[in-house]
Amino acid sequence: MAHQSLTKQLLESDKDGFQRATQSPFLAAAARGKVSRTVLGEWLANDRMYLHSYISGAGRILATHHLPVNSALASASGVVSFIDWLIEGIANVRREERLFIDTAARYGIGVDLPTSPDGTVADGAKLEGLRRFEKIFASRGETPHKGDILPWLEDAVVYWATEKCYLDAWSWAGKQAAGAGGDITADEDGGALRTEFIPNWSSQEFFDFVDRLGVIIDDAVNEMVKAGGDQVRSELVSRAQGKWKDVLAAEEAFWPKM
């Protein structure tokens, strides 16, 4: 009997939670040009801190899951594909932060959270969603238990889940913006979201990048299930669902209240 792909099963496991994570009032306001420079700047400042945690989490993963020593396996395993994807992801988010800073400067938007004398940001200055994501990324790359099937699965699911939520959230906003009309230059943020950010965050290139990790996960899971049967599938689904739920909760709490 054929099963759903793991990623599709995750998407359908909590449709209400996924909708809350990807169709917030903030996103609806962004699509209409009703997010002020101040609100957008505060959110972008939190998103920059998210990117920093994303990179730190990726570093922990790269220190834990190693490339195969055997050259015959150098391009044939799921972990290799995941590592390649993750390295590309690190480069992407570095470019993304530069885009934040450069675009915000052109539109007169500040993108810094208040810092203490030692350069740190107090938890109270952060969105709840950022605090959740920092905990999620801080636990990445934890040493797998010996004998685990696909010991990198949870890490891959976390990164796929957060990218998938981000992509679908801004793609939804983009569809709403397409029908909103009006003079974009009169938007409360000067047009930054509808002119610059939303098109970037809903691009075909971003879709392809996120989809590629989904395929890596699904192919690896299918291979293990083919060898181990339904018991293996149940174990892998259970492990993945826990991380999926964590990301949905963090993503929902990451959008400013409007």
Q: Domain tally for the chain?
A: 1
**Within a domain: residue 258?**
no
Range of the domain at 133: 6-252
**Within a domain: residue 257?**
no
Q: Distance between alpha carbon 128 and the CA centroid of its chain, in Å?
A: 16
**Within a domain: residue 205?**
yes
**Within a domain: residue 233?**
yes
**Within a domain: residue 34?**
yes
**Within a domain: residue 1?**
no
Per-residue tens of pLDDT for the chain, all 258 residues: 567 799 999 999 999 999 999 999 999 999 999 999 999 999 999 999 999 999 999 999 999 988 877 766 656 689 999 999 999 999 999 999 999 999 999 999 999 998 988 889 999 999 999 999 999 999 998 866 656 899 999 999 999 999 999 999 999 999 999 987 889 999 999 999 999 999 999 999 999 999 999 999 999 999 999 988 989 999 999 999 999 999 999 999 999 998
**Within a domain: residue 90?**
yes
CA-to-CA distance for 115 and 128, rounded, in angstroms? 17
